[in-house]
Amino acid sequence: MNKILVGALALVSLLLPLQASAEAVKPSTEALLHQMGQASRDLSYEMSYIWVKKNSIDTLRYRHALENGQSYAHLLFLSGPPQEVIQRGDEVSYFEPGLDPFTIKSNKMVAPILPLMKANIDRLAHFYDFIAMGRAREAGVACDVVRVAPKDGNRYSYLLWIDQTTHLVMRADLLDREGELLEQFRVVSFVVNPKVAEMLSKLDQVKLPAVVQLPQQPQQPQQPQQPQKKLEWAVKWLPNGFALIAGNRHRLLLTERAVESRMYSDGLFSFSVYVSDVDNFVGRGQLVRQGRRTLTTRVDGSKEITVVGDIPPETARRIAENVTFDNTKTEVTQTSK
């Protein structure tokens, strides 16, 4: 009996260094997300997946390749009206029902593709915690499960299933602050194969719509225009990590009302703030959330403030309440509280 016990202890002592060695070479959660990003950018692959929202389910097929240093991608909706997006280098073409096809200069699609594929993981690490949640099986393969959770409570989080072999995302659940599911991307089949690159490289031979050029404003000297009144305003509070990435000023087509907008992003989620003069159609105190998208409107004196984007309602409301019209103060670029 003693010999059996001694033998068992000796076997355990031999296995412990091997286990410690295996754990030592296992990449950190942040390193795993870097591998995920590199795989999604460098591999030649095709995947079919479903996009589940509150009131609808779409089926899509996404193909990607990197050939001679140039990215190619093709997204096709497999159900409903014909709809697809094609990326060829730094040009993205959109084909949507009811609209003329068009191409814009961009290095990424504005489309329902799996999240975090081209995110800056190093930057996100300042505002999100990357938490290992164990292992599971998805799309027929073993996956590492990772939660991307905000360090504050002012935005949503993701739960990711990452293939242990290819490091591609097999599933992504978008969760609200209470952990309720808002959206889900779920791969049902995929393949990694150099032939995908051969197929997509043929897009160079396809004639795509010309790149959209912004039209010049027509000159009407016979009708002198009144100088446009600039709407001076600033956002005094932003969730930590959000920064201004774009701004615009235009007039509404029907009412000719001047509107100024600013878009903010943390590299994962984004929202926009719109400011205009009040009219008779403003919805005072309006707050609407549909899936990931929140819209809130408030009135401050003669100004209407609207916040819309992929943020929780409480965050959108707080941002709207912190839009001020005091020109003596500069806008906050980011804050944590």
Mean local confidence (pLDDT), 239-257 = 78
Contact 112, 57 (CB under 8 A): no
Judge whether residue 91 has pLDDT over 50.
yes
Q: How many CB atoms lie within 10 A of CB 217?
A: 6
Task: Answer yes or no: pTM beyond 0.85.
Answer: no
- What is the structure's pLDDT at 206? 87
DSSP state of 303: E
**Please, are residues 335 and 238 in contact by the beta-carbon 8 Å criterion?**
yes
Q: Token pair 């590492």 is at which residue?
A: 144
pLDDT in tens, 20-44: 433 444 569 999 999 999 999 999 9
Contact between 161 and 134 (Cβ < 8 Å):
no
% of residues, the chain, pLDDT over 90: 62
Distance from C-alpha of 56 to C-alpha of 329, rounded to nearest angstrom: 45
Comparing CA positions, the residue from 203, 189, 197, 162 lying closest to residue 63 is 197
Helix %, strand %, coil % for the chain, to 5?
20, 40, 40
pLDDT, residue 11, reads 43
Span of 11-20, 127-136, 258-267, 292-301 with lowest mean pLDDT: 11-20
Asked whether residue 166 carries a pLDDT value surpassing 50, the answer given is yes
**Average pLDDT estimate for 197-204:** 90
**Residues 187-194, mean pLDDT to the nearest whole number:** 97
Is residue 255 pLDDT above 70, yes or no?
no
In the predicted structure, residue 6 carries a pLDDT above the cut 90: no
**Per-residue pLDDT tens digits for 92-151:** 999 999 889 999 998 889 899 988 888 899 999 999 999 999 999 999 999 999 999 999
29 phi, psi to nearest 5 deg: -65, -40
* pLDDT in the model for residue 217: 41
CA-to-CA distance for 316 and 11, rounded, in angstroms?
59
